[in-house]
Amino acid sequence: MQKVCQNCKKNFSLEQEDLNFYEKIKVPPPTFCPECRTARRIAFRNERTLYKRTCSKSGKSIISIYPENTPFPVYDQHVWWGDDWDAADHGLDYDPTRPFFDQWLELRNKIPRISLLNINGINSDYVNNSEDNKNCYLLFAAQQNEDSMYGRLVYRSKFAIDNDFVQDSEFLYECVDCRKCYQCLYADNCESSIDLLFCFNLRDCQNCIFSTNLRHKNYYIFNQPVSKEEFEMKKNEIFSSYEKLEWAKQEYEKFKEKAIVKYSHQIKCKNATGDYMYNCHDTIYGFDAENTKNCKFVADAEGTIDCWDMNNTYYKPELNIDIMGALQTYNIKYSVYLMYSSNSEYSDSLHNCDSCFGCIGLKKKKYCILNKQYNKEEYEKLKGEIIENMKKEGVYGDFLPPHLSPFGYNETLAQEYFPITEKEAKEKGFNWQTETSGTYGKETIKEENMPETIEEVTEDILNQILVCKDCKKNFRITRGEFDFYKRMNIPLPHKDFECRHQDRMRKRNPRKLWHRECMKEGCQNKFETSYSPDRPEIVYCETCYQQEVY
């Protein structure tokens, strides 16, 4: 089936497998293309924009993903989880003469929202969408880390500074997509390795610099064996000054462009298309997905089963469609931030709930519509009436409209993966945040006066205000960061944490696929890859890649 996206006006296809799934869960086909559906979902996810504000209940100063001037109350997370308030107290009677989403928004603005999601954090106030972190700072979508800061999707790691998508590692700096690594700096897509510097796709290697696609090697520079003395000399040279380090970054990117790459970062996958996938089966258009089965259009997903259009979903969600943010859910449709809930639609921030429609902030409830309680028969009858009215409005079967997001588009993951201007965002119905966090023009050290080496830096730097060379926002050096730079002999960064994060994200492939052929001479294998045809890398199919690299 061919359709035209009502947002971008581009044609998109619905395959028979899509139609079968929609019929199975009794929903109409979507009217937005896959890319626009994704943007609408992740425009409801603010991870890294934090504000200082007051708790609407206690009046205490808190850290929150919402600024002070929100139309809804915001509670400190410990207050929000308490039992002295109930979102059901704000329930509304459904009015069939009004558009459903107008009533949904009216309810949304009455319900207190949690300041941020930081479960069991110890000395880790400035983290979000995270759990079981200790002594961490500005980590997002992270779990079970210690003494780490500035990163996204960091798991079970210690002393990890400025990293994204890393797991089970220690003493990492500026690494992306690394697992089980120790004392690695500026490493991409490496695993089970020690003491790497500017390396790409290494496995079981030690003491390597400027190297790609190596296996079981020790003391290599530019993919050539060297002595221990040569290795240490090169490493000391690179970290002798900030200028030398910047030169090394450029050399690394040039060298990496010549590397042979596999068409997709996939391990133990079968019948899967996408990128950055592990143990995925029958998964189409999956990105950063683990242990998924029979899924399509999923990203940042773990254990997802029989689901379409999912982002940031974990703990085996099953039979869901068009969800952003879910833990262990079943039969959920067009909703955000549902945990341990089932059989619910068009809802936000439900916990341990079942059979809810258009509800917000409920805990341990069943058979509710717009937060009002009904018996089973009343619930099923009214839900059917609302769905029929929504179909007449032309809104049932698509995700929550973008203007219902509590965030500005530029605060969310949508801006990271689908960047647009304020004008474009507003034309498409998204919100935009004009209140900026942070300060500008308060620096006590100018960028041109930054010290070249870490040896020159004293503890006085902890009292200074620095300025980002790119965005010009002010930033500081924390005690943990300072100690890490001293230990690892790393010059001070000249960019703030957000610009450093964006630099790392540019190293990753986009969440798009192109149909290409293997570039190995004589091979005619075809595949879907996130390496666009205009990129310089040499892209091989899996068979040719294995023959070349292993």
Average pLDDT over residues 63-70: 95
Residue 47 neighbours by CB distance under 10 Å: 23
Handedness of CA 306, 307, 312, 315 (dihedral sign): negative
Amino acid identity of residue 129, one-letter, is N
Q: Which of 89, 81, 82 is nearest to 107 (CA)?
A: 89
Average pLDDT for residues 58-65, to the nearest whole number?
A: 96
Query: What is the arithmetic mean of pLDDT over 521-542?
Result: 95
Please state, for a pLDDT cut of 70, what percent of the chain lies above it. Answer: 100
Angle between helices 100-108 and 376-393 (to 10 degrees): 120
More confident: 496 or 438: 496
Mean pLDDT of all residues in 520-529 = 96
Average pLDDT, the chain: 96
Residue 121 to residue 489: CA distance in whole angstroms:
29
Residue 438 has a pLDDT of: 82
Distance CA 41, CA 312 (A): 10
Q: Token pair of 57, please?
A: 């209940």
Per residue in 82-113, pLDDT (tens digit) is 999 999 999 999 999 999 999 999 999 999 99
Reduced to 3 states (helix: H, G, I; strand: E, B; else coil), residue 128 is strand
Query: What pLDDT digit, counting tens, does each position of 454-488 carry?
Result: 999 999 999 999 999 999 999 999 999 999 999 99
Query: What is the C-alpha to C-alpha distance for residues 312 and 330, in angstroms, rounded to an integer?
Result: 15
Residues 406, 146 contacting (CB under 8 angstroms): no
Region for residue 352 given its phi and psi (left: phi exceeds 0; alpha: psi -120 to 50; beta: otherwise): left
Average pLDDT (433-461) is 91
Q: So what's the pLDDT on residue 87? A: 97
At 435 the pLDDT is: 80
Tokens representing residue 511 in the block: 């969440």
* 275-304 average pLDDT score: 97
Residue 335 pLDDT exceeds 90 = yes
CA 303 → CA 219, 312, 313, 314, distances in Å? 38, 11, 8, 6
Q: Which residues touch 5 (CB under 8 Å, ≥6 apart)?
A: 11, 12, 31, 32, 33, 36
pLDDT of 550 > 90? The answer is no
pLDDT in tens, 234-279: 999 999 999 999 999 999 999 999 999 999 999 999 999 999 999 9
**Share of the chain residues as helix, strand and coil, in percent rounded to the nearest 5:** 25, 35, 40
Q: Over the stretch 133-146, which tens digit does the pLDDT of each residue have?
A: 999 999 999 999 99
Model confidence pTM above 0.85: yes
pLDDT at 411 over 80: yes
Query: pLDDT digits over 174-230, tens only?
Result: 999 999 999 999 999 999 999 999 999 999 999 999 999 999 999 999 999 999 999
Under the banding of pLDDT at 50, 70 and 90, the label for residue 429 is: very high
Beta strands in 291-329 (DSSP E): 293-302, 305-314, 321-327
Radius of gyration for the chain, computed over Cα atoms and rounded to the nearest angstrom:
25
Q: Does 128 score more than 80 pLDDT?
A: yes
Count of positions (residues) in the chain: 550
- Is the CB of residue 134 less than 8 Å from the CB of residue 124? yes
Tell me the β-bridge partners of 3: 12
Q: How wide is the angle at C-alpha 401 spanned by C-alphas 140 and 298, nearest 5°?
A: 50
pLDDT of residue 350: 98
